Structure 1
Amino acid sequence: MIAAFTTSGGVGVGEVPEPVPGEGQVLVAPLAAGICGSDLHLVDAITARGEAAPRIVLGHEFCAEILEPGPGTSGRFEPGTRVVSVPHVFGPSGPVDLGFSPVLPGGFAPRAVMQESLLLRVPDGLEDERAALTEPLAVAVHAVRAARPAHGDVALVIGCGPIGLAVIAVLKAEGHGPVVATDFSPARRAVAERLGADVVLNPADSSPYEAWDELGVTERPPSPLLDGELPAGNVMAFECVGGHGLLQQLIDGLPRHSRIVVVGSGVTPETITPVAGILKEVSLTFVFAYRQAEFAHALGLLAGGRVDAGAFVTGVVGLDGVPGAFDDLRAADEHVKIIVRPR
């Protein structure tokens, strides 16, 4: 079958082996699969390995159609049923991450295998491209829950790429905020406004750390002067860029007792001054992916129309358009999410 995969030179399209479902797995036809920022990072890492680079069929954000059950399945999904899934299957050697492993193909292929026990049925009326947003939206659900939002808290979202925008969408869908969003890209700031961000700033022109007073945030006393629990109305900040130096900038700029949730995938060593965070009693939480219940909740947000899914999909390509789509995502800021239609 023809699929899109990593190569020593970037992304290629060509023939790959047909997947065969193992125990408890089903054969599926991916209908729509999103290109994620982590796909771009993975391609860079694979390219750096040169000729020793493994071939990985990408695509971990997907909506698929059941083709046929494999051995040891219950048959609870009829052929033709549309599904989404946490992108993992259980192989004989352990879990396999679909879209990140050379063992089994991800969603940038006409056929793949998925674990029956992890499948969720896509409700009627939810389009394929929008159902494929379940995975990145689940990342945002997990990040928001990790922030432990309280009534009256202000949310600061640094970076309006796909994950930052998903965080904004979840915050607004669940009634948290107000939300301050910041990004250098005018196109992405426009999407943040569409998704309901209350204040949208260009960090080249305005500091997000100067917006607190008008949003009702007051500097809390240091811990020794507090009597009892910290009252609501504090700041929860979501670092959705992974940019070098941003953590220290947040620690320095946020008011006392703020909560920082690190969602952006920084890949270089980071330096912070612990005493700066200690004196402010800032909490720092790193999050990875989501829980299965959060994945299901994300699907429910999309199916219930509580998230403006149309704001995310800015391009659709077939398999032959995948290499160009990767170039487009690297070269410009107008795209949020490009969806691949494998068939």
Structure 2
Amino acid sequence: MGNYIFEVVKPGLTTTIQDLGRTGYQQYGVVVAGAMDAFALQVGNLLVGNKRGEAGIEVVIMGPTLKVLTNTVIAICGADLSPKLDGESVTLWKSFAVKSGQTLTFGKPLNGAYAYIAVAGGIETPMIMESKSTYTKAELGGIEGRNLQKGDQIPIGVPSTTVKAGIGLPIRQIPDYRSGRKIRVILGPDHNAFNSESIDRFLSENYKLTSQSDRMGSRLEGPSLSLLKGADIISDAIFPGTIQVPANGQPIILLADRQTTGGYTRIATVITVDLPYVAQMLPGNELAFEAISVEKAQRLYVEQELLLQTLSVAAGVY
């Protein structure tokens, strides 16, 4: 292992090590896990000269207090959780230098729920099934498969390039996580299990995020959706953004720690580029759904991918 970047003074609400997830093992019942907001993590990594899939520190709503142990460059992307370095506010979506002995803190959540600390050289925790992501229910990844605790020291690798501070994402590209936006979905694969009134209601009414939401999924509260038959189906594949509807008629959007298969009807799937907006919702926030075509969803994904590739070239990361 390389140097240590932080010592945890206060762990915050739920602070973990996450990369883009543990892919390729769902057939064995191993969940993907990974960053709730994959776009924010990838951008953060590029801003500090890392490859897009490197692990970072995921901070949730109430952030940690971290003592800096070595001089380096970091970036904080995603939610605005009022980060400060030695009491001075730092700019999100832009890399900045930190020095040994400084203290990084977080305060009031202003916009979004999940922030990501990317560190030049990446987080150097062990790879478990080709991922460093923490999945606490199975005690996999990160530091001993758990949330960070007081006293933990977080190891980092050696940067592959010379990293400069002050590199940022253009303002027009920074996501706005404010409540009330339309979340774009592709209907199906079980939308025919709902009557037409329920489909219309799903696409026209607002839903509110409940306090029962977590990394596994966002539980929504709003107009009930009626099924033509029962809510249960033979367990089948589920994906990031799958929207299940159990017997109570209230949608659940499946996220990073989702199970590998599911037995509830699937009314729709959130498109990839809109998943961060779902993940970044706070309890009480509202959203509405908009159905689009697979072709449009693919075009939007290609646009996002081109942005990330452009950032990769600009950062000298290939």
TM over 0.5: no
Structure having the higher helix fraction is: 1
Structure having the higher strand fraction is: 2
Larger Rg: 1
